[in-house]
Amino acid sequence: MPTNRGVAYLKPGTVEVRTIDYPKLRMPKSESDPFGGKDAPHGVILKVVTTNMREGYLRKNGVPYSESAVITEYVDRLGPEPDRAVYLLIRTMVEDPKYLQQPFVTSTHFRLEAEGSKWNPTPCKTDPPAPLK
């Protein structure tokens, strides 16, 4: 059976590769969703843990986090769904013993556009530098 490995930051200048459990990703159960409670199809999963941050704010509304906060992010590739859609799901959890009574959790999802149909990058245009006086 293949193993899931990740790089763990232990202290400045020290990292190690550790074996970690695969996340258990299940569709939520609901009366309106007949697929709820089943395993969700997924591919690449990335777990990112961030520590040793400066104090700051979770949102512009003033909810603070301290230097002892830990941010854990999971990046999942979901699909293809029955309609052939592929999604990128980013789940973020902030845990802070000083300011938060429970984890602060957010999620964001993106849908992969077919063949880059809505992606048409153009080069940046810059003005020439001003002459020195």
Q: Which two tokens stand for residue 59?
A: 């949102």
Per-position b or e across 79-93, b if 16+ CB within 10 A of its CB? beeeeeebbebebbe
75-132 pLDDT tens trace: 888 877 788 788 888 999 999 999 999 999 999 999 887 776 777 778 888 888 888 8
Tens digits of residue pLDDT in 36-68: 566 655 555 788 899 999 999 998 888 899 999
At residue 67, the pLDDT reads 94
User: What was the pLDDT predicted at 30?
Assistant: 58
Is residue 9 over pLDDT 90? Answer: no
Query: 68, 74, 109, 67: which is closest to 93 by C-alpha?
Result: 74
Give the residue-averaged pLDDT of 9-26.
77
Q: Which two tokens stand for residue 49?
A: 């843990």
User: In 10 A of CB 36, how many CB atoms?
Assistant: 12
The rounded mean pLDDT for the chain is: 80
Rounded mean pLDDT of 16-36? 65
Per DSSP, the three-state class of 64 is strand
pLDDT given for residue 44 in this prediction = 57
pLDDT of residue 37: 60
